[in-house]
Amino acid sequence: MTFTVGVIGAGQLARMMIPAAVNLDIDLRVFGTGPGESAALAQTATGDWTDLEAVRAFAADVDVLTFEHEHVPQQVLRALEDDGVAVRPGSGALLYAQDKLQMRTRMAQLGLPNPEWAAVQTADEVSSFLASHGGTAIAKQPTGGYDGHGVRRITSADEVSDWLTPELLGAHDGALLLEELVPFTRELSQLVARRPSGDLAAWPLTETIQSAGVCSEAIAPAPGADAAVLAEAARIASTIASELDVVGVLAVELFETADGRLLVNELAMRPHNSGHWTIDGSVTGQFEQHLRAVLDLPLGSTELCDSCAVMVNVLGGPETPEARAEAEAEVLRADPAARLHWYGKGYRPHRKVGHINAFGTDVQAVLARARRDADLMHRDSTSPDSEVK
Amino acid sequence: MTFTVGVIGAGQLARMMIPAAVNLDIDLRVFGTGPGESAALAQTATGDWTDLEAVRAFAADVDVLTFEHEHVPQQVLRALEDDGVAVRPGSGALLYAQDKLQMRTRMAQLGLPNPEWAAVQTADEVSSFLASHGGTAIAKQPTGGYDGHGVRRITSADEVSDWLTPELLGAHDGALLLEELVPFTRELSQLVARRPSGDLAAWPLTETIQSAGVCSEAIAPAPGADAAVLAEAARIASTIASELDVVGVLAVELFETADGRLLVNELAMRPHNSGHWTIDGSVTGQFEQHLRAVLDLPLGSTELCDSCAVMVNVLGGPETPEARAEAEAEVLRADPAARLHWYGKGYRPHRKVGHINAFGTDVQAVLARARRDADLMHRDSTSPDSEVK
């Protein structure tokens, strides 16, 4: 093994680093929470990622420490950096993926396009924001939220009275984040990867489709995006990566509005669901690129392998092992070109258990094929049947 | 995990099954000979593959037993089959990959094109074959040879007198195999995969280039091959797969002669060096296809992802870990589109330590790029600089 990379977290994102690590002869070591997780094959330690001593022991003999999530506390990250561990991305960057209020403040400082937002501490401030934004807002706990947790759509201050307590406010930055309800026409994701040396590579802009707050489909390149939108998305993501000193993969989730503006929604500093299509659809997949970036190795080509690529998540899936085996065979039979990625997870309603990648020339046909494949895998269907915009 | 596959052998071929197994959620278990082998990540048992009890214990709880080499003795394979183990490919097929004399006899029975050959037991028979074949022949021990071992180019019976002993002849089939020195213009490989149910999928015909008896480069589709040659190669390989009841990947190594004939050279019943380009260059790579085939799952598309694909092996490679890290980075820097596959092996002269895949539209340019990349990895260079025919 030429290089050793430690990954905090043993879910599907760590799992999908394994093939890239095998190809590049990287000794990938995963820090999980217990047995049976998605990345169990590469797991070498288990523990609590908030426990400095446990993480410190794990990090002692890796070349680089990286993450499949942003939940490791700042004090743990900083202590490791003080130890001399190569923490990538570093605590200074991860802060903005951990704390939405810090993120909004920083985007504003950088002149990047935010939705309208405010940091609020009282019911009166909530009411005032609602009154000046059409009576509806998105309330977010600044830290600790993910996939829709810690986020509420509200029309009155009462709906967040339980979040305006001294305890909860104190657990964040002393304030709650309110954002306007953006009248977006679709959601986009701009993925880039960046090395410590500053080199940066961007994948084509991706359209994402959510299902009950969870990314469930991705289409690249984003259909119909004109040159101005592509340039603006690339400018936003590369500015964030450079200014925040992000190392590894950065996903910038964006809202596109009817009048053609892009607004920053969320940041993820790791491989991201919206980039799963890159595994099969671009020359260098996001998991390989993340490993290359955090090791400060030259980045790979992010060109598409075909005209378009699509990813459809399987949420839920077959409930029994027998049904699963049957459904898997059915997908393979129905679509000899489907690229399957199962996460080694058992059934739970709306749980992400895998995804299907497809590529080709006609985006409507490729998307229809991938959706049909995912349906054969019994995906929970809030199936979007809308046309791609 | 939906399916469990046991693999005998822990070299690079078993290693390259790991990414496919991760994607398809196959519990891949590898039977190696000791620590530190290429497929160590998936190794769950070690032992001697000629030891029935060791292999039997390993095979006890797998859905399917398969192989990365053909060296497991017939009596072990047959005992496992008697136990009810799903041995794929089975002993009846593997026999023809293990025994070159049996293979020649069977090809002849099937009317498939052999080089001229004879089974000989005495020096007189050797001399007689030489006299009627221009004074030169290829002598082969029927069993136990690989990558040029057990094979000699001879011009007199004296050169195999040490092989014509009762002991050595008895260890094989009581005879030695002689083959004419085929005046071939190039070597080709036709890869197919076959399920127990009979379904069969063929990849495009591949040209292979050897270096000191070892496959070191592969080009697909075989440049300049006309429709008749493509059809003949496909007919030969599918006949062999079907008639010999091969399950999994079958590689048929072929000689092409100046007058356009194809002759069967060797058979391999497993993923093969000549098919490494398929990992990145075709929709379904040979390692995934092998797993699908042995599990009797529907086969994947074998279409090329681009106009052509090329594989160049790195033989030898950098001698120290430091030189290796530097060379790896240099390749990534020089060629952002290179697809790298390292086998987790330390340096030895002419040892296969990895390969580089490249694809694109112009075969000369793609081949030049992959050779340059492999040279940056310090490959032992008997670098073929001939033009592709």
Out of A299, A301, A329, closest to residue B298 by CB: A329
Give dist(CA A33, CA A68) in Å, integer.
Answer: 13
DSSP-derived letter for residue B42 is: G
Q: Kindly report the number of other CB atoms within 10 A of residue B71's CB atom.
A: 16
Contacts of A336 in chain B (CB under 8 A): 283-284, 298-301
Give the relative orientation of helices A17-24 and A286-294 as an angle to the nearest 10 degrees. Answer: 60
Report chain A's mean pLDDT, rounded to a whole number.
94
Please name the residue of chain A whose CA is at the shortest distance from the CA of residue B345.
Answer: A1
- A169, HSE (Cβ side, Cα atoms, 13 Å): 15
Average pLDDT over residues A177-182: 96
Is the CB of B336 less than 8 angstroms away from the CB of A42?
A: no
Strand-pair category, B339-342 with B352-360 = antiparallel
Kindly report, residue by residue over A1-12, the tens digit of the pLDDT. Answer: 689 999 999 999
Contacts of B300 in chain A (CB under 8 A): 332, 336-338
* B384 has pLDDT over 50: no
What pLDDT, on a 0 to 100 scale, did the predictor assign at position A387? 36
Please name the residue of chain A whose CA is at the shortest distance from the CA of residue B355.
Answer: A23
Out of A18, A24, A329, closest to residue B342 by CB: A24
Kindly report, residue by residue over A197-252, the tens digit of the pLDDT. Answer: 999 999 999 999 998 778 899 999 999 999 999 999 999 999 999 999 999 999 99
What pLDDT, on a 0 to 100 scale, did the predictor assign at position A381? 67
How many angstroms separate the first and last alpha carbons of chain A?
Answer: 46
Give dist(CA B122, CA B130) in Å, integer.
Answer: 13
What pLDDT, on a 0 to 100 scale, did the predictor assign at position B380? 82
Give dist(CA B94, CA B111) in Å, integer.
Answer: 20
Helix (H, G, I), strand (E, B) or coil at A266: strand
What pLDDT, on a 0 to 100 scale, did the predictor assign at position A213? 75
- Picking from A4, A12, A23 by the largest number of B CB atoms within 10 A of its own CB, the best residue to mutate is A23
Kindly report, residue by residue over A249-260, the tens digit of the pLDDT. Answer: 999 999 999 998
Diameter of chain B measured on Cα atoms: 60
DSSP-derived letter for residue A226 is: -
Out of A24, A303, A328, closest to residue B2 by CB: A328
Q: Could you tell me which residues come within 8 angstroms of residue B227 by beta carbon, excluding any fewer than 6 positions away?
A: none
Out of B24, B303, B305, closest to residue A340 by CB: B24
Whether the bond into A223 is cis, omega within 30 of 0: no
What pLDDT, on a 0 to 100 scale, did the predictor assign at position A389? 34
Is the CB of B2 less than 8 angstroms away from the CB of A42?
A: no
Out of A1, A292, A298, closest to residue B344 by CB: A1
Q: What share of chain A is helix, strand, coil (3-state, %, to 5)?
A: 35, 30, 35
Cβ atoms of A8 and A68 closer than 8 Å: yes
Q: Which residues of B touch A (CB under 8 A)?
A: 1-3, 15-16, 18-19, 22-25, 41-42, 283-284, 292, 297-301, 303, 305-306, 321, 324-325, 328-329, 332-333, 336-344, 354
Is the CB of A2 less than 8 angstroms away from the CB of B292?
A: no
Left if phi > 0, otherwise alpha if psi is -120 to 50, otherwise beta: which for B131? alpha
Is the CB of A23 less than 8 angstroms away from the CB of B339?
A: yes
Sheet hosting strand A64-67, strand order edge to edge = A43-46, A26-32, A3-8, A64-67
Kindly report, residue by residue over B96-138, the tens digit of the pLDDT. Answer: 999 999 999 999 999 999 999 999 999 999 999 999 999 999 9
Give dist(CA A64, CA A44) in Å, integer.
Answer: 15
What pLDDT, on a 0 to 100 scale, did the predictor assign at position B381? 67
H or E stretch at A257: strand A248-257
Angle at A176 between CA A266 and CA A236, to 5 degrees: 25
Give dist(CA B374, CA B383) in Å, integer.
Answer: 10
What pLDDT, on a 0 to 100 scale, did the predictor assign at position B23? 97
Give dist(CA B238, CA B146) in Å, integer.
Answer: 23
Lowest pLDDT segment from A145-159, A241-255, A367-381, B301-315: A145-159
- Enter the pTM of the model: 0.95
What pLDDT, on a 0 to 100 scale, did the predictor assign at position B2? 81
Task: Identify which has the larger pLDDT, A210 or B339.
Answer: B339
The distance of A267 to chain B (nearest Cα, Å) reads: 26
Please name the residue of chain B whose CA is at the shortest distance from the CA of residue A297.
Answer: B329
The distance of B175 to chain A (nearest Cα, Å) reads: 43
Work out the pLDDT band at A173, boundaries 50, 70, 90.
Answer: confident
Task: Identify which has the larger pLDDT, B219 or B144.
Answer: B219
Q: Which residues lie across from A43 on neighbouring strands?
A: A30
Out of A2, A300, A340, closest to residue B23 by CB: A340
Whose CA is closest to A286, among A266, A306, A263, A268? Answer: A268
Please name the residue of chain A whose CA is at the shortest distance from the CA of residue B323.
Answer: A2
Lowest pLDDT segment from A271-275, B1-5, B243-247: B1-5
Whose CA is closest to A5, among A51, A41, A58, A57? Answer: A58
In this predicted complex, what is the ipTM?
Answer: 0.94
H or E stretch at A139: strand A137-140
Give dist(CA A370, CA A323) in Å, integer.
Answer: 19
Q: What is the DSSP string of A23-85?
A: HHTEEEEEEESSTT-TTGGGEEEE--TT-HHHHHHHHTT-SEEEESSS-S-HHHHHHHHHHT-
What pLDDT, on a 0 to 100 scale, did the predictor assign at position B345? 95
How many angstroms separate the first and last alpha carbons of chain B?
Answer: 46
Please name the residue of chain A whose CA is at the shortest distance from the CA of residue B1.
Answer: A344
What pLDDT, on a 0 to 100 scale, did the predictor assign at position A169? 86
What pLDDT, on a 0 to 100 scale, did the predictor assign at position B145? 65
Token code pair at residue A282: 């671009």
Q: What's the CA dihedral at B17, A17, A220, B277 to 10 degrees?
A: -30
The distance of B57 to chain A (nearest Cα, Å) reads: 22
Give dist(CA B255, CA B277) in Å, integer.
Answer: 20
- Picking from B23, B203, B335, B357 by the largest number of A CB atoms within 10 A of its own CB, the best residue to mutate is B23
Strand-pair category, B248-257 with B262-268 = antiparallel
Give dist(CA A202, CA B31) in Å, integer.
Answer: 41
Q: What's the CA dihedral at B84, B88, B93, B97 to 10 degrees?
A: -130
Kindly report, residue by residue over A331-380, the tens digit of the pLDDT. Answer: 999 999 999 999 999 999 989 999 999 999 999 999 999 999 999 998 88
Average pLDDT over residues B339-354: 94
Task: Identify which has the larger pLDDT, A100 or B170.
Answer: A100
Q: Kindly report the number of other CB atoms within 10 A of residue A18's CB atom.
A: 24
Token code pair at residue B30: 């590898």
* A264 has pLDDT over 70: yes
Kindly report, residue by residue over B149-207, the tens digit of the pLDDT. Answer: 789 999 999 999 999 998 888 877 789 999 999 999 999 999 999 999 999 999 999 99
Burial class (CB in 10 A: 0-12, 13-18, 19+), B213: exposed
Helix (H, G, I), strand (E, B) or coil at B103: helix
Q: Which residues of A touch B (CB under 8 A)?
A: 1-3, 15-16, 18-19, 22-25, 41-42, 283-284, 292, 297-301, 303, 305-306, 321, 324-325, 328-329, 332-333, 336-344, 354
Cα B326 to the chain's mean position, in Å? 30
Cβ atoms of A166 and A174 closer than 8 Å: no
Is the CB of B24 less than 8 angstroms away from the CB of A329?
A: no
What pLDDT, on a 0 to 100 scale, did the predictor assign at position A215? 82
Cα A353 to the chain's mean position, in Å? 16
Contacts of B344 in chain A (CB under 8 A): 1, 25
DSSP-derived letter for residue B371 is: H
The distance of A324 to chain B (nearest Cα, Å) reads: 7
Contacts of B16 in chain A (CB under 8 A): 22
Helix (H, G, I), strand (E, B) or coil at A306: coil
φ, ψ (nearest 5 deg) of residue A71: -95, -5
Out of A3, A283, A332, closest to residue B337 by CB: A283
Domains and CATH numbers, chain B: 3-87 (3.40.50.20), 116-180 (3.30.1490.20), 184-376 (3.30.470.20)
Q: Could you tell me which residues come within 8 angstroms of residue B1 by beta carbon, excluding any fewer than 6 positions away?
A: A344, B25, B26, B27
Cβ atoms of A286 and A202 closer than 8 Å: no
* B85 has pLDDT over 80: yes
* A83 has pLDDT over 60: yes
Lowest pLDDT segment from B181-190, B212-221, B250-259, B287-296: B212-221
